[in-house]
């Protein structure tokens, strides 16, 4: 008999001879130690978690949040610290409002935080998150990201779509010029959304899909998809109440929108396959995203096998992740210029001085418009369009600022709050493009205090596409027109309130009176 077995037998005999073995005492002790061992094994050791506001049963901290989540998160962080743990229902969410901690997550510990939270709407719309934005980190994600960086959204490809931007902007300018004749106002918010969707649609699909025979346009479907992706639903936050999504109509809306999107993209792919243009030796600049993806699929050059569903999911990223954020940025830029006449005048003088008496604005002119570029940077600083989402991997506990971060914890980096931090920015609530003159800080992910496009391996691959479009559209709006507020309103009355969603938009649409220059 080995020594350990002998020792256990001796301990057992001694235990039986003591009063502790009597049932009235022994069984409660047995239950206590069983529960202790269960909690130790299942929940692990006691963790040093980040500070958390007091929460209520079931709903967690939901009652402490307003509809403007970015502002609520900022207020809670000012009270409890730059790293706080909230519970939205049963979902633990880490809120980060510090540039230094954001850098740790996006760069120093990026291998732990490479996933993005998987939400119900994205799962349905994007065929199980087989796109690039929501896809779990792994070989499939690496290959799809490579397709975006090298094929779909490379700088050469983006520059090749210059003719699309020129044609769409010329059409928009003509519509505004027409309104100048009767002195009427224009809904610039709607116009900017339309042009952003049109450019994205033509670059991705080859033409605009404006809705035929009662079908919804791509822009309308894209807006619904965005709203659903950012909307509250019970399955994500309170899974045991998921049946409520059927009662609220969320499930029906999601299924209807997904079917309409999938049917339309199936139609687009079928049209491209029948035309066989993707297999022709046509100019690379004339190929849209569908052509490129079909060519890659047929050539077998990828390390993965792209199915029809994968193609649809990748194409949907163009609209869900790109078109609306670009429109929002242009809307905020024009709003800030109207709110700040000094900046408007300075930007217009630069644009008109560079373009001179030419009949149109060339994209090459933008390189000389340093102040306009500062206006775009300041807009992205003051009005970060989105938060930066991450999720800790399921296999590790990580240390962050001395705190334990459990696996499967959702992370929201509040770029909106970081970019308004008075410790990092002088007069952070003021719109001052001059702060970026001769300033090396940029939005490309190298400076942790300025991350409107995220940073690290999961930074936004569409950054160049969005910035070039934004600069070109703004240059034309400033070159061709002067802008006035309608109905004799003054800049003091101008409402700059925002509304939170997957993209942070201006609450009241931007309506202005154009005056032809």
Binding-site members for heme are 460
User: What is the helix (H) or strand (E) element at residue 390, kind and residue range?
Assistant: strand 388-391
Q: How many C-beta atoms lie closer than 10 Å to residue 260's C-beta?
A: 17
Q: Strand 91-96 and strand 410-413: pairing?
A: parallel
DSSP state, 49?
P
Q: Could you tell me which residues come within 8 angstroms of residue 238 by beta carbon, excluding any fewer than 6 positions away?
A: 58, 59, 89, 90, 244
Residues 227, 118: Cα–Cα separation, whole Å: 16
Distance CA 271, CA 209 (A): 13
Which residue in this structure is represented by tokens 């699929």?
297
CB-based burial of residue 192 (10 Å sphere; 0-12 exposed, 13-18 middle, 19+ buried)? buried
Report the chain's terminal Cα–Cα distance, integer Å.
Answer: 101
Q: Binding site: which residues?
A: 460
Residue carrying the six token digits 């509809």 = 67
List the structure tokens of 168. Answer: 């769409």
- CA separation for the pair 32, 28 (Å, rounded): 6
Q: Yes or no: say if 321 and 462 are a contact pair by the CB < 8 Å rule.
A: yes
């Amino acid at each position: 008999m080995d020594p350990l077995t002998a020792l256990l037998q001796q301990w057992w005999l001694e235990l039986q001879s003591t009063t502790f073995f009597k049932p009235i005492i022994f069984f409660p002790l047995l239950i206590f130690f069983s529960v202790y061992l269960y909690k130790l094994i299942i929940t692990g050791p006691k963790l040093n978690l980040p500070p958390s506001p007091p929460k209520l049963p079931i709903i967690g901290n939901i009652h402490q949040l307003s509809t403007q989540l970015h502002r609520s998160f900022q207020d809670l962080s000012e009270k409890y610290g730059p790293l706080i743990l909230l519970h939205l229902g049963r979902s633990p969410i880490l809120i980060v409002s510090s540039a230094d901690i954001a850098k740790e997550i996006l760069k120093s510990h990026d291998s732990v935080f490479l996933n993005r939270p998987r939400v119900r709407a994205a799962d349905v719309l994007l065929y199980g998150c087989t796109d690039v934005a929501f896809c779990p980190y792994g070989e499939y994600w690496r290959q799809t990201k490579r397709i975006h960086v090298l094929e779909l959204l490379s700088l050469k490809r983006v520059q090749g779509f210059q003719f699309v931007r020129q044609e769409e902007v010329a059409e928009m300018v003509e519509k505004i010029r027409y309104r100048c004749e009767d002195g009427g106002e224009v809904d610039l918010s709607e116009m900017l959304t339309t042009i952003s969707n049109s450019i994205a649609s033509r670059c991705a699909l080859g033409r605009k899909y404006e809705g035929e025979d009662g079908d919804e346009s791509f822009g309308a479907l894209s807006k619904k998809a965005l709203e659903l992706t950012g909307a509250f639903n019970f399955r994500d936050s309170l899974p045991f109440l998921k049946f409520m999504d059927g009662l609220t109509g969320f499930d029906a809306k999601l299924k209807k929108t997904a079917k309409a999107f999938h049917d339309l993209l199936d139609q687009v792919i079928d049209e491209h396959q029948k035309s066989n243009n993707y297999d022709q030796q046509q100019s690379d600049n004339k190929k849209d995203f569908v052509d490129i993806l079909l060519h890659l699929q047929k050539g077998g050059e990828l390390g993965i096998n792209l199915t029809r569903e994968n193609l649809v999911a990748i194409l949907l990223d163009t609209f869900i992740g790109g078109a609306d954020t670009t429109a929002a940025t242009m809307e905020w830029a024009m709003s800030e210029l109207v709110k700040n006449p000094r900046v408007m005048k300075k930007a217009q003088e630069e644009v008109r001085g560079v373009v001179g008496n030419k009949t149109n604005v060339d994209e090459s002119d933008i390189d000389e418009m340093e102040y306009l570029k500062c206006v775009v940077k300041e807009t992205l600083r003051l009005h970060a369009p989105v938060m930066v989402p991450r999720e800790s991997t399921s296999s590790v506990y990580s240390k962050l600022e001395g705190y334990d971060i459990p696996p499967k914890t959702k992370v929201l980096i509040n770029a909106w709050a970081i970019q308004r931090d008075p410790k990092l920015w002088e007069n952070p609530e003021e719109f001052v493009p001059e702060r970026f003159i001769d300033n090396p800080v940029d939005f490309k992910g190298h400076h942790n205090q300025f991350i409107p496009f995220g940073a690290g391996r999961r930074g936004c691959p569409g950054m160049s596409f969005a910035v070039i479009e934004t600069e070109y559209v703004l240059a034309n709006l400033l070159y061709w027109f002067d802008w006035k507020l309608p109905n004799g309103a003054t800049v003091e009355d101008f409402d700059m309130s925002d509304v939170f969603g997957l993209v942070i938009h201006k609450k009241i649409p931007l309506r202005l009176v154009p005056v032809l220059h």
